[in-house]
Structure 1
Amino acid sequence: MITRARNIGASRLLRLAGKRFTATVSASTPLEPIIEDTIKTIGPISLSKFMRTCLTHPEHGYYIHKDPLDADSGDFITAPEMSVAYGMTCGLAFVRMFLAQLQYQSRHSPDFKVKDNVFRVIEFGPGKGSMMKGLAMVFKQYIIDNPVEIVMVEKSDILIREQHKLLCKAQELQQIDDYNFKSVTEWGQPITWQKNDLVELDLDPRYMNFVVAHEFFDALPIDRYIKTKHGWREYLVDVRRPEAGRPGKFGLVVAPHATPGSFIPATNERYNKLAVGANVEISADAHMYASQFAKIINSGDVGGALIIDYGPKDTIPINSLRGIKDHKFVDPFSEPGKIDLSVDVDFLELSRLFESQGLKTVIETQSHFLNSSGLPSILGGLAFSMKEHQQRFETLYQRLTGSAPQDMGRAYKALQVYKNANKTT
């Protein structure tokens, strides 16, 4: 997964049911005839196949030709890039999670020896490295009795070099093989990069694994289904009729019969409780990554995860697929390969998946999470040391935690996953 970031007003994220996209005349792209030929050959394709082709086609995919470091042509920016305080706050949340579990172990596992273990943090979709910078700074200060190791899961060579430059300064980036690199952060922590989506880790129990994924799950392909009186039917991507009256070569149609994917919602009680006419979005990739996260966390006696993204806290996302270009929402079926694609994250389903693996979860708004994890104190300290920028920090705090349409505090959610001990507040 090649990562990207976005900063689009939260008000737009909250207006997606019956949304109206920016009207654009769809220009033909190199990917358009490839998708059209595929549909003409095998028939309508799944929505997830369409999304995956648009984003990761080896020649014409959005992530392949888009320069993720080009600020002038970028479509988005992330919260961690706004201030190191964001990553530091997330770091404090991990420290609190870690200490709570140590207390649990001291009461319930007298033979547990924490000093024999390694504190390891794994980031999926690390962008430019801004989140990890804040985490590494906090871990240097607070995780003092255990060695700290960092793993970055990143496919893009451009971003690996950018992350290394930000985190390691003058330390050499050593290539281990075609898919792995290593170095040392400026805070003295060993750091490795892996270019495989399915990360390969030593899951020896001596590792205490903490996983972070910020704006990662919203980029994963989804499939969409509707419940009919005849059972679940899948939405497929087909070539639009010329008289359809909408820009773009492609659009969604409902399969007339059950498809292989139709069994997915049919086997989930949460979806089967819905009334006829209900729509659901399901990401098989999100299920796969959640299972991988759970396996990593459960490999040791202590561990957890922090997932931050946008999406509803306790409902099923519907009709959330959107295209993003030049900081605006556009028709997701226009200009395939030239626009980013994004969806709402089903936090309740992720929570259910983690809890089915014996883990504990808490879902909060970003506002509540940041406030309870120490953002006001961190920003206050930065503002005190840089008094000339005090107004900037006040604006940043409002942007990250506020509930106004242009703010991120309510639209973004934080899912904390942890072992054993209850989350401390």
Structure 2
Amino acid sequence: MSEVGDLLAARIAAEGPIGVDEYMAAANSHYYATRDPLGVSGDFITAPEIHQMFGEMLGAVLADCWVRAGRPVDAVYAELGPGRGTLANDALSVLRRAGFTGEVHLVETSPALKRAQAKLLPEANFHDEIDSLPKAPLLLVANEFFDALPVKQWVGDEERRVIHDGTAFAFTIYGLIRETSPARDEAAQTLAKRLAAYGGVAIVIDYGHSKGEQGDTLQAVRDHRFSNPLDEPGEQDITSHVDFAALSEAARCGGATVSRIASQGAWLETLGIGARAMALAAKNPQDTERIAAARRRLCDEAEMGRLFKVMAMRAPVWPEIAGLEA
């Protein structure tokens, strides 16, 4: 059993069953603190690592929003869970060309990922939590951030918990699962309050559902394959689908104006990823098929296009994000 597994088993033996959220939080805290999980040699690949077009599209919509907001000189670029810094690097290349000269602020707790981010973005300022970001207008991105925050699971009104039978971890009850995430709601509300108080916009991209669907979505990934979330805690990435309806409600409660929810593929196509792909292929004809394959992976419904959703929250006085207008 893993190191975290031993600790959790001992805790359960001493205190009794623990919540799914407690299990997930402990496992992911160790997992992200001890490795760079991204890329072919890691456990999974995120959209920014697929192709530069993803980050460029985000940089373009942030630049457009910043310009329409009057080019506030105190605005900063911020990102929650910025991976290796790839998305920030690609987005900032577009923002800088638009005249944005603001600081870069990254919310990251993983020492391994901080090292990768600092190497790519030496100007970055690091934070452990949203509340320590500057009191300034934010141009913020959260890509695959909320899915890793812990969830509670319920069967009816009874909370599902995790036990250890001396050999393996197991759930206390089974049935029709309902998921809630106080951690996600708190993060969304905290971010919304900062936007409402100091200005700015935040784009949230993640896999999930938009109409309050219910069910067990807890999953784990290791070596680019799905695995049992109860196996080897701390040695695999545990996530669940983001409830964008709940996230929207939390953001509104925090005082932000919230956009409609769109699928990633439709949004990127609306922004013009097709034209960008053609322009890149014209300059790099030897990469034409790789560029086309990246676009398909990002946008096709059978790939990331439909499962991944996009939502924006903003200060009420700031303009809407392109492609997410009501």
Give the TM-score normalised by structure 2: 0.90
Q: Distance in 2 between matches of 1:325 and 1:147?
A: 39
**How far did residue 69 of structure 1 move?**
6.3
Match for residue 121 of structure 1?
Answer: 77
Q: Distance in 1 between matches of 2:67 and 2:322?
A: 9
Q: For the Cα contact (< 8 Å) 2:196–2:314, is it kept in 1?
A: no
- Going from structure 1 to structure 2, the CA distance change for 1:418 and 1:394 (only over 3 Å counts) comes to same
Partner SS state of residue 251, structure 1: strand
Unaligned residue ranges in structure 2 (runs of 5+): none
- Correspondent of 1:148 among 83, 102, 126: 102
- Correspondent of 1:329 among 226, 243, 250: 226
Match for residue 133 of structure 1?
Answer: 89
2:134 is aligned with 1:238: no
2:142 is aligned with 1:213: yes
Q: Deviations over 1:26-81 (max 9, x none)?
A: xx22333322221122111111111112222xxxx222333446742x11111101
Match for residue 92 of structure 1?
Answer: 60
Q: Deviations over 1:141-164 (max 9, x none)?
A: 12x2x5322101122333223223
- Correspondent of 1:65 among 25, 34, 48: 34
Q: For the Cα contact (< 8 Å) 2:48–2:86, is it kept in 1?
A: yes
**How far did residue 403 of structure 1 move?**
1.3
Q: Distance in 1 between matches of 2:22 and 2:39?
A: 27
Q: Distance in 1 between matches of 2:260 and 2:12?
A: 42
**How far did residue 409 of structure 1 move?**
0.5
**How far did residue 214 of structure 1 move?**
0.6
Match for residue 239 of structure 2?
Answer: 342
**How far did residue 422 of structure 1 move?**
4.4
Match for residue 16 of structure 2?
Answer: 43
Q: Distance in 2 between matches of 1:69 and 1:78?
A: 7
The letter of the residue matching 1:290 is: A
Match for residue 305 of structure 2?
Answer: 409
Q: Distance in 1 between matches of 2:121 and 2:197?
A: 27
Q: For the Cα contact (< 8 Å) 2:271–2:322, is it kept in 1?
A: no
- Going from structure 1 to structure 2, the CA distance change for 1:322 and 1:122 (only over 3 Å counts) comes to same
Q: Distance in 2 between matches of 1:97 and 1:334?
A: 44
2:7 is aligned with 1:34: yes
Match for residue 292 of structure 1?
Answer: 190
Match for residue 134 of structure 2?
Answer: 202
Q: Distance in 2 between matches of 1:237 and 1:354?
A: 30
Match for residue 19 of structure 1?
Answer: none
Give structure 1 regions of 4+ aligned residues with deviation exceeding 4 angstroms: 422-425
2:155 is aligned with 1:226: yes
Partner SS state of residue 261, structure 2: strand
**How far did residue 198 of structure 1 move?**
4.1
Partner SS state of residue 33, structure 2: helix
- Correspondent of 1:159 among 92, 103, 113: 113
Partner SS state of residue 132, structure 2: coil
Q: Distance in 2 between matches of 1:66 and 1:317?
A: 32
The root-mean-square deviation of aligned C-alpha atoms, in Å, is: 2.2
Match for residue 261 of structure 1?
Answer: none
Q: Distance in 1 between matches of 2:87 and 2:153?
A: 32
Match for residue 271 of structure 2?
Answer: 373
Q: For the Cα contact (< 8 Å) 1:210–1:297, is it kept in 2?
A: no
2:291 is aligned with 1:399: no
Q: Distance in 2 between matches of 1:363 and 1:96?
A: 19
- Correspondent of 2:50 among 73, 76, 82: 82
Partner SS state of residue 362, structure 1: coil
Q: For the Cα contact (< 8 Å) 1:317–1:346, is it kept in 2?
A: no
Q: Deviations over 1:130-178 (max 9, x none)?
A: 1001111111112x2x53221011223332232232234xxxxxxxxxx
The letter of the residue matching 2:227 is: V
- Going from structure 1 to structure 2, the CA distance change for 1:41 and 1:123 (only over 3 Å counts) comes to same
2:212 is aligned with 1:315: yes
Q: For the Cα contact (< 8 Å) 2:61–2:322, is it kept in 1?
A: no
Q: For the Cα contact (< 8 Å) 2:260–2:311, is it kept in 1?
A: yes
**How far did residue 291 of structure 1 move?**
1.5
Give the TM-score normalised by structure 1: 0.70
Partner SS state of residue 334, structure 1: coil
Q: Distance in 2 between matches of 1:167 and 1:67?
A: 16
Q: Distance in 2 between matches of 1:358 and 1:167?
A: 29
Unaligned residue ranges in structure 1 (runs of 5+): 1-27, 103-113, 169-182, 184-190, 242-247, 256-276
Partner SS state of residue 209, structure 2: coil
Q: Distance in 1 between matches of 2:214 and 2:87?
A: 26
Q: For the Cα contact (< 8 Å) 1:90–1:373, is it kept in 2?
A: no
2:126 is aligned with 1:193: yes
Q: Distance in 1 between matches of 2:92 and 2:278?
A: 20
Partner SS state of residue 187, structure 2: helix
Q: Distance in 1 between matches of 2:12 and 2:95?
A: 50
Q: Distance in 2 between matches of 1:116 and 1:166?
A: 26
Q: For the Cα contact (< 8 Å) 2:28–2:148, is it kept in 1?
A: no
Could you say which structure has the larger radius of gyration?
1
